[in-house]
Structure 1
Amino acid sequence: MLRWALMFLIFALVAGLLGFTGIAGESMYIARILFVVFLIVFAVGLIISLATGRRPPRT
C-alpha cells in the first residue's frame, strides 16, 4: 500500500511539472488517502502485536 502511495506521489509530481495540474491534484489526493490508510493499518497491527505479545510470522 505504501508502494502505491509513493507511485501516485511520483506521478503527481511529474504531472505537475508537465503542467497537468488537474491530474496532479487528483493523484496527490489519492496518494494522501493511501498513505493515511497505510498508517492506520500499521498502527492497528502494531497495537495488536504489542497487546498479544506475539510477533508476526516471518515470510
Structure 2
Amino acid sequence: MIILGVILLLIGLVAGLPFLWTIGAVLALIGVALLVMGAAGHEVAGRRHYW
C-alpha cells in the first residue's frame, strides 16, 4: 500500500493531477499507520503482523 501510494504521488506530481496526489498521500499514510501498528504488536485485521 505504501508503494502504491508513492507511485500515485509521483504520477500525480508529474502529470499535474491533484486528485492522484491526494489519493497517493492518503494511501501512503494508511500504509505507514498499518506498518507501525503491526510492528508495535497490535493486531491489524486479525493478523499479528501487517507484513
The alignment's TM-score, normalised by the length of structure 1, stands at 0.57
Contact 2:4/2:24 (<8 A) preserved: no
- What amino acid does structure 2 have at the position aligned with 1:38? L
- How many residues are matched? 42
Runs (4+) off by over 3 Å: none
CA distance in structure 2 between the partners assigned to 1:42 and 1:7 by the alignment:
20
Find the counterpart in structure 1 of residue 41 from structure 2: 44
In our comparison, the structure showing a higher alpha carbon Rg is 1
Give matches, 1:1-59, under 5 Å.
4-44=1-41
The alignment's TM-score, normalised by the length of structure 2, stands at 0.63
- Root mean square deviation of aligned Cα: 1.6
Write the deviation string for residues 17-42 of structure 1: whole angstroms up to 9, x where unpaired: 11011121122111111111111111
